[in-house]
Every structure is written in C-alpha cells, then in structure tokens.
Structure 1
Amino acid sequence: MIQHPKAEELVEAVSKWIDGVRPTLGPRDAFLARVAVNVLGVVRRELAQGAAAEAAATARMAELLGHDGDLATLNSELCEAIRTGAMDVGTPGLIQALKASIHEQIAIDQPNYNPEPVR
C-alpha cells in the first residue's frame, strides 16, 4: 500500500529545504526565503492546533450567545451584539472568551509572543 506524506510532513520538508538553500541566496531572496519559512511555520501550527482552537472558540461563542451554530455565523452574531451594545465588557464571560480566542490565535500566528495569562 502506498502511504502519502501528511501535510505536516510536506510543510516541514519544504521548510527545511528552503532553510538549506537560503545561505546561497542573495540578501533579498534570503529574506524572502526566511519569510516563506515563517509562513510555513504558521501553516504547520494551523494544521496541528487550528481545529481544536476553532472548536473551542465555537463552543465559547455558543455559550455566550445561548445557542449552537458554526464559527462564522456565531462570530458574526457576536460581533453584531458587541457593535450594537447588546454585549459589552460587563457581559459575563465575554472578555474571558475573547482573551482565550486571542491567545489560541497568537499561539498559531506568533508562538514566541508571550501575552499576559488568561484570567
């Protein structure tokens, strides 16, 4: 049976290859190669953590709004509630839910960033 490499393995292989050829590149292309490696890191973390982060965010929004739904719909509804003033900093659990979602997104996008702990 033929086993295809997983997406994470492909991303890692391409990232290592770029890092391997980067020292032979001119300054501009070396910089762009470094940017590409960073992008592949985001993709790798999205593949590893994205589904869990999305599920957690969806559950938090569903709890805040009092009903289930998909992430895009709940997010749109939550944004509208905040925009219209139906929810604000005084809404129980809102700030904590938003902070948790932000921390999960930062862990994917900028894992070396060390934000304040979620309270």
Structure 2
Amino acid sequence: MHDAPSPAELISAVKSFIDDTAAPQLTGHAAFYARVASNVLSTLLREIEQRPAAEAEELAGLKALLGTQAGDSIQSLNRTLCEQLRTGSMSISTPGLLEHLKTTTIAQLSIDQPQYSGLKAARAPRS
C-alpha cells in the first residue's frame, strides 16, 4: 500500500509552516521573502489541482478549431494556431476562436493570478 503524502499535501504542509509558524516571527526582507515563498507554493498547488483539466480543455479546443488528428501536442497545435493567425488564414471572426482564447486565458489566470481584478468579471456569464 502506497500511503506517502501526495505532492499537494507536502506543499500544503510547507506552506502552512511558512504562513503559520515562520512568517509571523519575521520582519523586513525575511518577512517579504516568506510571503513570496508562500505565494510560490500557492501557485504550485493551483498547478497541481487545475493544470490537468485546463490542458485537456485547451487541447480539445485546439483540435476543434484546427481539425487535427489525435496525437498532436498542445505546443504544436498552439504553434499552428499562431501561424494561422499570423498568415490571416484564421481571424477573430473564425467560429470558436474567441471563445477558445477566452477560456484558455481564464484558465491560465486562474492558476497564475487568481486575484486578478478582471478575472471575476471574465468568469461571469454574459447576459
């Protein structure tokens, strides 16, 4: 039986130590760097929790937009998308493009900058 802590549990334990034990005793630069370290760990936790679903959704969106075959990577499909945008063979008027770009941007911001002021508005359904 494999019962070791998961990477997320290990990161959470270190973050809790920094936030609850170490940081309250620090001042000046050390306190600042403790906040930076805590923020980095928060980002890593969001990566672990959110990235797999975000990448699966992005891959599905790219395949739908580009009509590609199975086996293409997100990186190669994004290069293809960029090339099609650069050459003008795809534009903002291409069906599904704007929604794909919005969805992938929201997913990335949710991981990198979840407190970004425009993120809540971007997530809200349009009426």
TM-score normalized by the length of structure 2:
0.87
Unaligned runs of 5+ in 1: none
1:11-30: CA deviations, max 9, x gaps?
A: 10010111120122231111
State the distance in 1 between where 2:2 and 2:66 align.
46
Instruction: Answer whether contact 1:22 1:30 (CA < 8 A) is retained.
Output: yes
Name the residue aligned to 1:8: 8
Structure 1 pair 70–2 and aligned structure 2 pair: CA distance change class (3 A): closer
Is 1:93 the equivalent of 2:84?
no
Aligned residue runs from structure 1 range 1-119, under 5 A: 1=1, 3-19=3-19, 20-68=21-69, 69-113=72-116, 114-116=120-122, 117=124
* Structure 1 runs (4+) greater than 3 angstroms displaced: none
Unaligned runs of 5+ in 2: none
State the distance in 2 between where 1:109 and 1:56 align.
17
C-alpha deviation, 1:118, in angstroms: 6.1
Structure 1 pair 4–60 and aligned structure 2 pair: CA distance change class (3 A): same
Identity %: 44
C-alpha deviation, 1:2, in angstroms: 5.5
- The alignment yields a C-alpha RMSD, in angstroms, of 1.5
How many residues align? The count is 119
Whichever residue aligns with residue 24 of structure 1, its letter is Q
Structure 1 pair 111–101 and aligned structure 2 pair: CA distance change class (3 A): same
SS in 1 for 2:90: coil
Whichever residue aligns with residue 103 of structure 1, its letter is I
Whichever residue aligns with residue 5 of structure 1, its letter is P
